[in-house]
């Protein structure tokens, strides 16, 4: 699939609908081809705006799709791409899982805690009884040594998985996808909090709040100590910069290539 990328504050975004993104992931899984994918919300965009090295990584990820409503709105406002819905990470994961179950494509899940993976696995087996789960590996919540990274890549390859879902949080998951893309012949799909949502350990905002772009308010109320900087500092900055770009200010997509691997697992 060849789609012209759209510059959003210097981040090269893919103006795809959820079905298009899911089809690209499934095709890469069938063909056993590397494909790094991330569903991007405002926080993810701003990490690339403020960090040139991370901007380089993001702009070398294969597909960056609009997870957050404010990201979708900005793409429509600036580039007039006509996106009808956001590519919400949890919804994208379930769309792919449904097709993977039907086609017999094995899935690997990497990230979160052993408890969340156990709960998610139980829920997914009930919802998708034919789904082949090739493996689940919890996050180590620290930087990986080169040997550990090699072992994790070998474990995923030997599992027979054809699609990998990654849930270690932004921006670590985009770094992981960028670094592991060359180690794995399968799509790596970064889906943020989708694991915790699927496990039922973190509540999701009501659909009406999601549709209106108010999910941030719900999540801030749930986790104020962890998220207040993200939403109360970065979000107003994002809005200001989007207005600047709409008024004609140019944002460079150039970044600084990482000089070494930074593998946080």
What is the tens place of the pLDDT at every residue in 4-26? 899 999 999 999 999 999 999 99
Answer whether residue 218 is part of any domain.
no
Distance CA 115, CA 119 (A): 6
For the record, the structure tokens of 126 come out as 């009930």
pLDDT per position as a tens digit, 148-186: 999 999 999 999 999 999 999 889 999 999 999 999 999
Answer whether residue 107 is part of any domain.
yes
Number of domain units in the chain: 1
Answer whether residue 263 is part of any domain.
no
Residue 222 has phi, psi (to 5 degrees) of: -75, -40
Answer whether residue 186 is part of any domain.
yes
Answer whether residue 220 is part of any domain.
no
Answer whether residue 27 is part of any domain.
yes
pTM: 0.91
Answer whether residue 97 is part of any domain.
yes
What is the extent of the structural domain holding 109? 14-201+234-246
For the record, the structure tokens of 168 come out as 């270690």
Distance CA 230, CA 238 (A): 11
């Amino acid at each position: 699939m060849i789609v012209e990328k759209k510059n959003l504050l210097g981040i090269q975004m893919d103006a795809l609908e959820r079905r298009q993104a899911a089809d690209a992931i499934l095709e890469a899984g069938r063909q056993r081809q590397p494909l790094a994918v991330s569903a991007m919300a405002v926080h993810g965009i701003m990490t690339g705006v403020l960090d040139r090295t991370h901007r380089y990584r993001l702009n070398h990820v294969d597909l960056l799709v609009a997870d957050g409503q404010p990201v979708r709105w900005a793409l429509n406002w600036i580039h007039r791409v006509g996106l009808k819905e956001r590519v919400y990470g949890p919804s994208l994961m379930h769309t792919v899982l449904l097709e993977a179950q039907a086609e017999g494509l094995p899935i690997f899940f990497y990230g979160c805690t052993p408890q969340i993976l156990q709960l998610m696995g139980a829920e997914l087996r009930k919802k998708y009884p034919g789904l082949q789960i090739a493996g689940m590996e919890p996050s180590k919540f620290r930087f990986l040594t080169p040997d550990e990274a090699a072992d994790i890549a070998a474990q995923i390859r030997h599992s027979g998985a054809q699609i990998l879902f990654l849930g270690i949080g932004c921006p670590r998951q985009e770094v992981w996808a960028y670094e592991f893309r060359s180690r794995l012949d399968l799509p790596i799909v970064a889906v943020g909090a989708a694991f915790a949502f699927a496990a039922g350990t973190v509540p999701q905002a009501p659909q009406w709040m999601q549709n209106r772009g108010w999910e941030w308010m719900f999540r801030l109320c749930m986790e104020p100590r962890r998220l207040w900087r993200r939403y109360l500092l970065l979000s107003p900055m994002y809005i200001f910069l989007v207005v600047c770009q709409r008024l004609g200010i140019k944002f460079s997509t150039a970044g600084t290539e990482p000089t070494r691997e930074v593998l946080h697992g």
